Amino acid sequence: MRIVIAGGHGQIALRLERLLSARGDEVAGVIRKPEQADDLRKAGAEPVVLDLESASVEEVAAVLEGADAAVFAAGAGPGSDASRKETVDRAAAVLFADAAERAGVRRYLVVSSMGADPRHEGDEVFDAYLRAKGSADEAVRARPGLDWTILRPGMLTNDAGTGLVTLAASTGRGPIPRDDVAALLAELLDTPATAGLTLEAISGSVPVMVAVKGVAGN
């Protein structure tokens, strides 16, 4: 498969790029800073420098042309203010979805966040983040032209992955290593029957492949 990942230099994205390239997929990662390109090449991905905060739908669609799947894994990141949660975590996700539809790329995965809700209340930056992610998820789910799956991991850690997870529409709170989130995304890409699902994920006792097969088609 050819897979295009928005936010290609993110911690989950780099892990996913390594997994996908190792199994023989062709991977492109969209990045904002040219100096990040070497890290993507080391992960086995082709770097594409494009700022999703200022790019047009046409520019992004050109990058997605011919892809089998798109993964939105971009985020404004820690330390960013509420305005960038809006321009990256919401608007860029909507732009990437628009572009995927325009390019005819049906399979669309979103790395969201547990608790994402456009109606979430609160005045902190994290509250703005959850609203932005929730709004983006709603915009993606409203698109009949996309076979979307939304993955909402719990608290992300840099612990070594165990390959064992809990994956369900609702899991309750809990941590999960970024390694295991990347493994879930790789497995979801291979499982089109998970289209139309919004899934939460935390560490658990079920192997990734078994967990994904368990929710497929539900």
Among 129, 131, 176, 194, the active-site one is: 129
Residue 86: CB atoms within 10 A of its CB come to 17
Look up 129 and say whether it is catalytic.
Answer: yes
Sort 81 into a burial class: Cβ within 10 Å, 0-12 / 13-18 / 19+: exposed
Buried b (16+ CB within 10 A) or exposed e, 45-59: bbbbebebeebebee
Q: What local confidence, expressed as pLDDT, does residue 72 receive?
A: 95
Task: Write the pLDDT tens digit of every residue in 9-21.
Answer: 999 999 999 999 9
Mean pLDDT of all residues in 97-124: 92
Confidence of residue 63 (pLDDT cuts 50, 70, 90): very high
Residue 3 pLDDT greater than 90, yes or no: yes
Instruction: State the chain's mean pLDDT as an integer.
Output: 94
> Would you say residue 81 has pLDDT above 90?
no
Phi, psi torsion values for 147, nearest 5 degrees: -95, 85
pLDDT digits (tens, 9 = 90+) for 122-169: 888 888 888 989 999 999 999 999 999 999 999 999 999 999 999 999
